[in-house]
Amino acid sequence: MAETHFFENALSDWMKDDGPDSEIVVSSRIRIARNLNPSPFPMLATNQQSKEVLDQVSDVIQSEEFKAIDHFTMLTLNDLNELQKQVLVEKHLISPALANESRNGAVILSDNESVSIMVNEEDHLRIQCLMNGFQIREAWDLASQIDDQFEAKLDYSFDESRGYLTSCPTNVGTGIRASVMIHLPALVLTQQINRILSAITQVGLAVRGLYGEGSEALGNLFQISNQITLGQSEDEIIDNLYGVVRQIIEHERAARHKLYHEWKAKIVDRVSRSFGILSYAAIIDSKEAAQRLSDVRLGADLGIIQNVTPAAINELMVMTQPAFLQQYAGEKLTPEERDIRRAELIRHKFSQTEG
């Protein structure tokens, strides 16, 4: 089918170019939660009611105004197999909740996958815009443009005093989650990370792992986002996150400078060992692979490793996840088989960069 590239390519097109501060900020994301009147929220909706929501959303994306934004493809979850759903989760294009929900769930994707609109997840609409590097304001501009198109044609659930109404009370108000995925290996290695993360939570921001709430910060990747959606404007939320992340970037740069100039032999040894293990390991689990890839990415950013680009590391971070490994292998794999395939895939990719 024409949409197979969504499942076959680990690296979304929007991730292939460097963005501002991309040696530290991997991506910027805006997510907007919206619900439609008079339909019950998805968790309470009947099959017919959720189908009506899907039909309304489908009509909007067929409009000329919407098509002027970009070309979009709608994938209904019932038409996808379990492996395809998990690949979309690993690429951050849908949530685990949507992957596990089969009742008229769908995702609308732009060709370059920078826009992902989930339908009938926790809310009727979850509009997500992703951009490379530190482009949180640009991501908000695009998400707002898409939101305006939906709001012009659909009746949103809105209260004059509370704002946009959502299934989860923590999203009521603006309905906006602004977040960045940030790589902080130097702050971890210099043992400053706990102090930094504690300060972040004290200014109304949340810190999560690679796959959001409840997930581990594998590979020194942290997701930093706003917690407050009620009582602040959209611009205030964006500006607060922007200011805090800008400070974190500077702390990470200072920590990298310290590592390279004061502990150069140790950091070169650490990076080189990880590069060697990844280049020759016959079996490696996902946790170790993430940590070793983090070391190599730091080495590439510091100029210690010459032949591996950050984009190649980003691609491997996705391709070495369980569902994508099985998609790549074309068969279901046991955990041990995945560990063998993961090592094989990394060896192959690194041998290509050396050539």
Binding-site residue positions for ATP:
27-31, 92, 126, 177-181, 208-213
Strand partners, 177: 31
Concatenated DSSP letters for 278-329? Answer: HHH-S---HHHHHHHHHHHHHHHHTTS-SS--HHHHHHHHHHTSHHHHHHHH
- DSSP calls for 225-258: EE---SSS-HHHHHHHHHHHHHHHHHHHHHHHHH
Q: What span, in angstroms and rounded, lies between the C-alpha atoms of 10 and 217? A: 20
Q: Edge-to-edge, what's the strand order for the sheet holding 72-76?
A: 72-76, 106-110, 115-119, 125-132, 25-34, 176-183, 221-226, 205-208
Which residues make up each annotated binding site? 27-31, 92, 126, 177-181, 208-213
Cα 288 from Cα 142, distance rounded (Å): 36
